[in-house]
């Protein structure tokens, strides 16, 4: 092995992998053992031309960049302006309230993905009208896009991904039962846009 590189998986490695472990969440680390091009083990280290340590395949030179994933979500609004939320039936934050959404597919636009995920999770057909915000969560290596949306069809229903689907007024959101930071941040921005002061503004 090149002296500048160290194995990701050799427990006897001289240099600790702390920086990498801190930067890259476990769910992504667990997918990064081997080169996706040739199958050789990946190593971590400094690569000419790169400005930070990279995962590289010494056999074929492939660099495995570790990038966040985009999560596309909506805040569906009823005719009377109430917000539809679901109680998550999946981890992380199982059982807490959140907006519908999920990972964007490579062959769809952000709007298409948000509409698709909302239908899959709540049974509602929505039309996004504006963006509430974009919320980075480096700890989980995700960026969450949140669109406000009008409900134009479908019927709210419990799904494999939602234990419960319910509507809430902007001044009566279930704040103590919101589990995801990105959901709390987005809902704070959204209620402010409707003239409501959110609780715990100092909490991250
Ligand atoms: Zn390779």
Kindly report, residue by residue over 39-70, the tens digit of the pLDDT: 999 988 888 888 988 999 999 999 999 999 99
Q: How many folded domains does the chain comprise?
A: 2
Residue pLDDT, tens place only, 114-158:
999 999 999 999 999 999 999 999 888 999 999 999 999 999 999
Range of the domain at 16: 5-64
Q: Ligand 1: distance of its center to the CA of 2 in Å?
A: 15
Please name the residues in contact with 154: beta carbons below 8 A apart, sequence gap of 6 or more: 119, 122, 123, 124, 125
62 vs 90: CA distance, rounded Å? 34
Task: Report the range of poorest mean pLDDT among 16-30, 47-61, 159-173, 175-189.
Answer: 16-30
In a domain, 141, yes or no: yes
Q: Are residues 73 and 27 in the same domain?
A: no
pLDDT digits (tens, 9 = 90+) for 83-114: 999 999 999 999 999 999 999 999 999 999 99
What is the whole-number distance in angstroms between the Cα of residue 56 and the centre of ligand 1?
8
User: 47 C-alpha to center of ligand 1: Å?
Assistant: 15
The answer on 128 and 52 residing in a single domain is no
Q: What is the whole-number distance in angstroms between the Cα of residue 8 and the centre of ligand 1?
A: 14
Which residues make up the environment of ion ligand 1, defined by Cβ < 5 Å? Answer: 35, 37-38, 40, 57, 59-60, 62
* 188 in any annotated domain: yes
Note whether 159 and 74 are same-domain residues. Answer: yes
How far apart (Å, rounded) are the C-alpha atoms in residues 94 and 143? 19
Between the alpha carbon of residue 128 and those of residues 106, 145, 149, the distances in Å are 19, 12, 4
Q: What is the pLDDT, as a whole number, of residue 180?
A: 96
Task: Using alpha carbons, select from 1, 21, 16 the residue that is nearest to residue 141.
Answer: 21
The H-or-E segment that residue 21 falls in is helix 18-23
CATH classification of the domain holding 73: 3.90.79.10
- Residue pair 142/177 in contact by the 8 Å Cβ criterion: no
What is the 156 CA–ligand 1 centroid distance (Å)?
47
Tell me the sheet residues that pair with 5: 45
Query: Does 129 share its domain with 39?
Result: no
**Boundary residue ending a domain (64, 94, 112):** 64
């Amino acid at each position: 092995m090149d002296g500048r590189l160290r194995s990701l998986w050799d427990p006897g490695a001289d240099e600790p992998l702390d920086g990498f472990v801190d930067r890259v969440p476990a769910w992504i680390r667990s997918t990064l053992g081997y080169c996706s091009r040739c199958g050789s083990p990946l190593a971590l280290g400094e690569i000419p031309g790169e400005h930070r340590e990279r995962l590289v395949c010494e056999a074929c030179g492939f660099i495995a960049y570790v990038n966040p994933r985009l999560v596309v979500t909506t805040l569906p609004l009823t005719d009377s302006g109430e917000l539809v939320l679901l109680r998550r039936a999946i981890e992380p934050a199982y059982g807490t309230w959140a907006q519908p959404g999920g990972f964007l597919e490579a062959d769809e636009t952000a709007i298409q993905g948000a509409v698709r995920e909302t239908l899959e999770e709540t049974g509602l057909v929505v039309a996004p009208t504006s963006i509430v915000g974009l919320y980075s969560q480096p700890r989980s290596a995700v960026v969450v896009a949140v669109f406000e949306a009008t409900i134009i069809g479908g019927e709210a229903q419990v799904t494999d991904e939602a234990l419960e689907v319910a509507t809430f007024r902007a001044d009566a959101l279930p704040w103590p039962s919101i589990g995801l930071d990105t959901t709390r941040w987005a809902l704070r921005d959204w209620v402010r846009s409707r003239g409501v002061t959110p609780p715990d503004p100092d909490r991250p």
